[in-house]
Amino acid sequence: MLRELREQVLEANLEVVRRGLVLYTFGNVSGISREDNLVVIKPSGVPYERMTADDLVVTDLDGNRVWGELRPSSDLSTHLHLYRSFREIGGVVHTHSEFATAWAQARRPIPPMGTTHADYFYGPVPVTRELTPDEIDRDYVHATGAAIVECFGNRDPMEAPAALVADHGPFCWGRSPDDAVHNAVVLETIARMAMYTLSLQPAKVGVSQALLDRHYFRKHGQAATYGQQEQ
Amino acid sequence: MLRELREQVLEANLEVVRRGLVLYTFGNVSGISREDNLVVIKPSGVPYERMTADDLVVTDLDGNRVWGELRPSSDLSTHLHLYRSFREIGGVVHTHSEFATAWAQARRPIPPMGTTHADYFYGPVPVTRELTPDEIDRDYVHATGAAIVECFGNRDPMEAPAALVADHGPFCWGRSPDDAVHNAVVLETIARMAMYTLSLQPAKVGVSQALLDRHYFRKHGQAATYGQQEQ
Amino acid sequence: MLRELREQVLEANLEVVRRGLVLYTFGNVSGISREDNLVVIKPSGVPYERMTADDLVVTDLDGNRVWGELRPSSDLSTHLHLYRSFREIGGVVHTHSEFATAWAQARRPIPPMGTTHADYFYGPVPVTRELTPDEIDRDYVHATGAAIVECFGNRDPMEAPAALVADHGPFCWGRSPDDAVHNAVVLETIARMAMYTLSLQPAKVGVSQALLDRHYFRKHGQAATYGQQEQ
Amino acid sequence: MLRELREQVLEANLEVVRRGLVLYTFGNVSGISREDNLVVIKPSGVPYERMTADDLVVTDLDGNRVWGELRPSSDLSTHLHLYRSFREIGGVVHTHSEFATAWAQARRPIPPMGTTHADYFYGPVPVTRELTPDEIDRDYVHATGAAIVECFGNRDPMEAPAALVADHGPFCWGRSPDDAVHNAVVLETIARMAMYTLSLQPAKVGVSQALLDRHYFRKHGQAATYGQQEQ
């Protein structure tokens, strides 16, 4: 069942390890088949070295397991809430990558400090509000997803394909599992450079709107000019 | 004698090197057989590259060597005091891993800055008081162990399986040598992320009790839900 | 066409990857044949792993493609403006290397903090002024090159073979593509050490003129004494 | 001539590269035969990848080349002054390792922040005064050595086998070239941890005299207890 998607999700999970974004099993990637309304996700707590495409778990959008023998990632409900709320996304990644997590722990959004950021994120990477004790006690994993969606409001989630969950770490997304991992790798890099920038210039607030527009739209949308796609 | 435990302790010593926690010979791992009341520990100052299970040293809980030809690690007395005082532990690791050591040198406990910390340590990672000149002169290595035990007071040592020895570095423990090394690796990561967090938010004090409870108990105790163990 | 130069430019592009200066496709190297007034540059958005010398693009100094099938790097106009303005340079490199980019994002020139800097850069590494919204909208990539040239004024561009483009990242150059990459690697190192230096000594302003002279001229100019060239 | 020492010095030069202490050719190691009063040193500006024991240069203590075809390291006079002044040393290393260099650029001695430091350096790692313009113009390389010796005064150079040359970088020494490299590696580690410590505790001044004594003398002198040497 969904063999190709399972292979993609496995590969995306291994890529976050190769890129140094996860330690031990602290991270998970999922992908969705919008046609089937089914999600493929990493199992909980299984070492990456021996994970195969047959260890992945398939669930419906309510979290019922429809294929696989292992328990899904403990973050499943957050992934599902993002898939239900953000209709254009095809993959979700959660990591504890160190610099993005530091911003999340500091409860600060990452401002667009330069063009590397502006090429991927049209404005700050948002940070969620803290959850209430009640939310944490009742349905923590779902509430995490709801807090991410809440901090976007009317903002297009494809224009800043990541959020920092306060005191926790980043969730990233993209058109596919592979694209979501790419965004997670870039997020970690801009988080690191933004921290270094603040150490050199504590008052730095972000780039101009003109520069943000110029860089974001050269890589995204109708008028994009980067790469070979229009050749 | 204790061949299997010696193999485990050797492997755990090599793992701290592979994980980048030790430089040259600055670190040591031991394990205990509770059945035999015997401890296996790394020899002092032997390069990791040529260490074999036959180089390890077996001692009783008073530090008498009962097997092996080399001198045990110079930190033996600290390990033994931890084994005598913390009855549930099966392995002890000492490293000079750089970020945990920086906190130890700063004489600051590491507050629970986020969920990565809360998944492993139920509250701050404590730091010992400074030893007095008299303690240092008389029985320094034992006094180091005593200071660790003292800073736990009535706190369960399994709920925060590490301590920072002031001006020195971390000691970690776990149910086995392997588990102790796992905790040492995680400690270094949370030490690093906590330092980055303070650089972004100097006033950050730690996560809420609700979040600490939620994360710690999803991985520990009767109601744990992480991983595949209940499948 | 220009096969040898294309091989050199390919190799220089791969070297910036091996040196850890670029993530994904965030960087580009070009080289010029002054004899032919033709520039060889990396194509836009092609992964380094599968790039060959046949993927490189040859253009004239006005940016007309005269050989190759792919679209050139989106930074082409900046490179061309540097070649037209700085007549001694034979190669140009643009990266988003993390520490040099942090200084660019902080909009601060890098002062000569020590002899490592002085061996390569005779004085600060300059930072460009911010571009106006009008410049960004009209001809951004060319305006970037113009801002670099402007910040040099009458200063010899070979005496500080790099500039930080504000809110963007470094451009470096040299007598050849290979030499430009060498300068980019050194720039990243001095950017990193300069940031560490400021964290230890926020008031540090730079080395004495005597030390700057001594180190710069031992490696550059008629009286250079470093290396084996005069043997 | 001095084949064995040349092999040792070559190996020591390669070790500083493997340990990440040098970039390109920014570093040099030498060794001395006290019997012959001859010094073996790395040639100037030769890439490490193709250096052989036959490329090394042998000089007398006045700097006259007595064997070899290449020009010696441009830092030769500093090495020679150290050998003439510090009679117990057998090897000298100069690097631009990044954290030690940051302290040198900040013109701050590295205080003994913890036991890792105290195991190797009995007190602060000193920093030289700045050279005068006159010293820089006249005999810079020799003056660098003289400034190192000056900052030791009556202090035993074996009790702190390194100095930071202000605005330049570290020189380290030891009983052999290999031992000098070992000290250079440790110096970089303690420089890094000391910087992290200050970021967590800006007021930290150093360990107690009792702790310094305890750690330094367990590894050095008649009463040393570390390692297997007394077995």
Write out pLDDT tens, residues C195-231. 999 999 999 999 999 999 999 998 888 777 777 754 3
Give D222→chain C minimum CA distance, Å: 37
Residue D226 has pLDDT above 80, yes or no: no
Mean pLDDT calculated for residue range C47-63: 96
Report yes or no: A46 at the B interface, CB cutoff 8 Å.
yes
**Nearest residue to A45 (alpha-carbon basis) of B119, B48, B78:** B119
> Is the sign of the CA dihedral A115, A116, A120, A123 positive or negative?
negative
Tell me the residue type at A89: I
Tell me the residue type at B80: L
Residue C127 has pLDDT above 60, yes or no: yes
Mean pLDDT calculated for residue range C98-114: 98
Please give the full DSSP string across B110-144, using - where no structure is assigned. B---SHHHHTT-SSPBPBPPPPPHHHHHHHHHHHH
Locate all alpha helices (DSSP H) within D19-53, ordered by sequence.
none
Report yes or no: C203 at the D interface, CB cutoff 8 Å.
no
Residue among A182, A201, A213 minimizing CB distance to C108 = A201
Report yes or no: C69 at the A interface, CB cutoff 8 Å.
yes
Residue B231 has pLDDT above 50, yes or no: no
Locate all alpha helices (DSSP H) within chain D, ordered by sequence.
3-18, 76-85, 98-105, 115-118, 133-152, 177-200, 209-219
- Who has greater pLDDT, C221 or D111? D111
Residue D229 has pLDDT above 70, yes or no: no
Rounded distance between C-alpha atoms, residue B52 and residue D19, angstroms: 24
Residue among A116, A182, A201 minimizing CB distance to C96 = A116
Residue found under tokens 């490189």: C56
What is residue D207's predicted lDDT score, i.e. its pLDDT? 97
C209-219 helix and D133-152 helix, angle to the nearest 10 degrees = 100
D170 lies in some domain: yes
Q: Enumerate the β-bridge partners of residue A170.
A: A164
> Is the sign of the CA dihedral C112, C116, C119, C125 positive or negative?
negative
Residues of chain A contacting B227 with CB distance shorter than 8 Å: 44-45, 71
Per-residue pLDDT reduced to its tens digit, B15-39: 999 999 999 989 999 999 999 999 9
Who contacts A3 (Cβ-Cβ below 8 Å, separation ≥6)?
Answer: A53
Element (H, E) at A219: helix A209-219
Mean pLDDT calculated for residue range D189-198: 98
A224 lies in some domain: no
B229 lies in some domain: no
Do the chains contact at A108 and B201, CB–CB below 8 Å?
yes
Residue among B74, B102, B199 minimizing CB distance to D218 = B74
* Secondary structure of residue A226 in the 3-state scheme: coil
User: Looking at C44-48, D89-93, D219-223, which range is the least confident one?
Assistant: D219-223
What is residue D231's predicted lDDT score, i.e. its pLDDT? 38
Query: Which of the following is catalytic: A75, A119, A178, A179?
Result: A119
- Three-point CA angle B85, B88, B89, nearest 5°: 80
Picking from B105, B129, B197 by the largest number of D CB atoms within 10 A of its own CB, the best residue to mutate is B105
Do the chains contact at C214 and D136, CB–CB below 8 Å?
yes
Residue among C114, C208, C218 minimizing CB distance to D101 = C114
Per the structure, the count of domains in chain D is 1
Which C-chain residues 99-138 have CB contacts (< 8 A) with chain D? 113-116
pLDDT band at A230 (very low <50, low <70, confident <90, very high): very low
Report yes or no: D43 at the C interface, CB cutoff 8 Å.
yes
Locate all alpha helices (DSSP H) within chain B, ordered by sequence.
3-18, 76-85, 98-106, 115-118, 133-152, 177-200, 209-219
Please give the full DSSP string across C10-46, using - where no structure is assigned. HHHHHHHHHTT--STT-EEEEEEETTTTEEEEPBTT-
What is residue C230's predicted lDDT score, i.e. its pLDDT? 46
What is residue B219's predicted lDDT score, i.e. its pLDDT? 81
Residue A196 has pLDDT above 70, yes or no: yes
**Torsion from C-alpha of B129, B133, B135, B136, nearest 10 degrees:** 100
Domain of D198, CATH number, reads: 3.40.225.10
Between chain A and chain C, the number of residue pairs with CB atoms below 8 A apart is 89
Rounded distance between C-alpha atoms, residue A8 and residue A176, angstroms: 9
Report yes or no: A20 at the C interface, CB cutoff 8 Å.
no
Between chain A and chain B, the number of residue pairs with CB atoms below 8 A apart is 89
Report yes or no: C200 at the D interface, CB cutoff 8 Å.
yes
Q: What single DSSP character describes residue C158? A: G
Residues of chain C contacting D24 with CB distance shorter than 8 Å: 182, 185-186
Per-residue pLDDT reduced to its tens digit, B45-100: 899 999 999 999 999 999 999 999 999 999 999 999 999 999 999 999 999 999 99
D230 lies in some domain: no
Residue A115 has pLDDT above 50, yes or no: yes
Picking from C15, C113, C183, C197 by the largest number of D CB atoms within 10 A of its own CB, the best residue to mutate is C197
Tokens of C47: 């992964």
Picking from D101, D167, D193 by the largest number of C CB atoms within 10 A of its own CB, the best residue to mutate is D167
Tokens of C79: 């490179």
Report yes or no: D200 at the B interface, CB cutoff 8 Å.
yes
User: Looking at C13-17, C44-48, C193-197, which range is the least confident one?
Assistant: C44-48
Domain extent for B30: 3-219
Residue of C nearest to D98 (CA): C193
Picking from C105, C134, C164 by the largest number of A CB atoms within 10 A of its own CB, the best residue to mutate is C105
Residue among A194, A210, A228 minimizing CB distance to C44 = A228
Residue D154 has pLDDT above 70, yes or no: yes
A151 lies in some domain: yes
A76-85 helix and A133-152 helix, angle to the nearest 10 degrees = 30
Query: Which of the following is catalytic: A24, A140, A196, A226?
Result: A226
Phi/psi at C67 (nearest 5 deg)?
-160, 145
* Secondary structure of residue A56 in the 3-state scheme: coil
Do the chains contact at A211 and C131, CB–CB below 8 Å?
yes
Residue D231 and residue B55 in contact, taking contact as beta carbons nearer than 8 Å: no
- Mean predicted lDDT score pLDDT of chain D: 95
Residue among C99, C136, C137 minimizing CB distance to A196 = C99
Active site residue C119: yes
Do the chains contact at C104 and A114, CB–CB below 8 Å?
yes
What is residue C41's predicted lDDT score, i.e. its pLDDT? 98
Residue found under tokens 């796609």: A229
Give D21→chain C minimum CA distance, Å: 12
Residue B226 has pLDDT above 80, yes or no: no
Residues of chain C contacting D46 with CB distance shorter than 8 Å: 227-228
Residue of D nearest to C115 (CA): D168
What is residue B221's predicted lDDT score, i.e. its pLDDT? 80
D228 lies in some domain: no
pLDDT band at B230 (very low <50, low <70, confident <90, very high): very low
Instruction: Report, as residue numbers or ranges, the catalytic residues of B.
Output: 119, 226
Residues of chain B contacting A102 with CB distance shorter than 8 Å: 193, 196-197, 199-200
Rounded distance between C-alpha atoms, residue B210 and residue C120, angstroms: 55
Residue among D104, D108, D195 minimizing CB distance to C114 = D104
B227 lies in some domain: no
Pair type for strands C91-95 and C162-165 = unpaired
pLDDT band at A226 (very low <50, low <70, confident <90, very high): confident
Query: Which of the following is catalytic: D75, D83, D119, D178?
Result: D119
A101 lies in some domain: yes
Give B105→chain D minimum CA distance, Å: 6
Query: Which of the following is catalytic: C24, C140, C196, C226?
Result: C226
Do the chains contact at B116 and A99, CB–CB below 8 Å?
no
What is residue A153's predicted lDDT score, i.e. its pLDDT? 96
Give A92→chain B minimum CA distance, Å: 19
What is residue A229's predicted lDDT score, i.e. its pLDDT? 59
% of residues, chain D, pLDDT over 70: 99
Report yes or no: C20 at the A interface, CB cutoff 8 Å.
no
